[in-house]
Amino acid sequence: MNVMAKRQLDIDLSLHHALNRMEFVLHYQPQVDNFGKIIGAEALLRWHSSVLGNVSPAEFIPQAEGSGAILSIGEWVIRTACLEMRDWLDKGVCAESCYIAINVSPCQLKQSDFVERITAIVREVGIHPHQIDIELTEGVLMWDTEDAKQKLFELKEQGFRISVDDFGTGYSSLAYLKHFPIDVLKIDRFFVQDIGFSHRDEAISRAIINLAISLGIKTVAEGVETISQVQFLQSHGCEAYQGYYFSEPVSALKMASLLQR
């Protein structure tokens, strides 16, 4: 417990300086359609701390959420992703229809001026809101339904895409699918990884795709590592894929060259 507490304290202290010291970068993981074409990419935060070395987002994001540091870090993520999208457009490597998916934490969405903030950044940088996909987890959609609902409708009205991340792993209530303007369900890699081995996981993946199809929502499968997973998902109507089978998360420069290819 002492070791864990010390590690948490070290992370908190180092996170405090991480933005000023420019220790963050974004990596991008392509999302590919059924023709193998890159249609977008998810921005994934990487932290190289001068004190602690590389720290995984799975470790530092929950802490940044706890301390409130996620608000400034999250805003940096949004701005940086928008700037990099602008750069790819300027270089002519990326289609107007291409998007970057950004992970947005519950506390970011809870800010009363979140919609104004993200809209201002997109406008300032000079990209279109449809080029940004906001990834939210199911938990976000469960807390304050009225507030969340109003914000999602405002975001939708501005033209942003809205995805549900890790679908089916959280506080599952299907009610929010009825009330909220959702564009994409991301099938969690927890279900995808056992396609070919577990009839139950196959049945769940299939059910998510069918549910999405009947609601007119797109599906993106995450954590796709094998061709047989792609074939199974494709045969049941999945529209896009993300995972090591296609590409690991890569630097912005490498992403530009993947887009160009």
Binding string to ligand C2E for residues 58 to 97, with x set by CB under 6 A, is what? x--x------------x--x--------------------
Positions 44 through 73 that interact with Ca ion (CB under 5 A): none
What are the tokens at 130? 């449809």
Minimal distance in Å, beta carbon 128 to ligand C2E?
Answer: 21
What's the min distance (Å) between Cβ of 92 and ligand C2E? 27
Q: How far is the CB of 37 from ligand C2E (least distance, A)?
A: 18
DSSP 15-51: HHHHTTTT-EEEEEEEEEETTS-EEEEEEEEEEEETT
Number of residue whose CB is nearest ligand C2E: 243
Residue 182 in contact with ligand C2E, rule: CB under 6 A: no
CA–CA dist 100, 45 (Å, integer) = 13
Binding mask 42-61 for ligand C2E (x = CB under 6 A): --xx----------xxx--x
Would the CA dihedral through 82, 84, 90, 94 be positive or negative? negative
Rounded CA separation 179/110 (Å): 18
The listed partner (Ca ion, ligand C2E, none) that binds 249, CB under 5 to 8 Å by sort, is ligand C2E
Indicate which of ligand C2E, Ca ion, none lies near residue 251 (CB less than 5 to 8 Å, by partner kind). Answer: none
Binding span for Ca ion by CB under 5 A among 83-91, 106-114, 125-133, 166-174: 166-174
The C-alpha atoms of residue 94 and residue 257 are separated, in whole angstroms, by 10
Residues with Cβ < 8 Å from 73, sequence gap 6 or more? 15, 18, 19, 24, 45, 64
Compute the least distance from the CB of residue 120 to Ca ion, in Å. Answer: 23
Task: Report the Cα–Cα distance between both ends of the chain, in Å, rounded.
Answer: 49
Helix axes 227-235, 199-215, angle to 10 degrees: 50
Q: Do 119 and 128 contact (CB within 8 A), yes or no?
A: no
Binding residues vs ligand C2E (CB under 6 A): 29, 44-45, 56-58, 61, 74, 77, 103, 105, 165-166, 189, 223-225, 243-244, 249
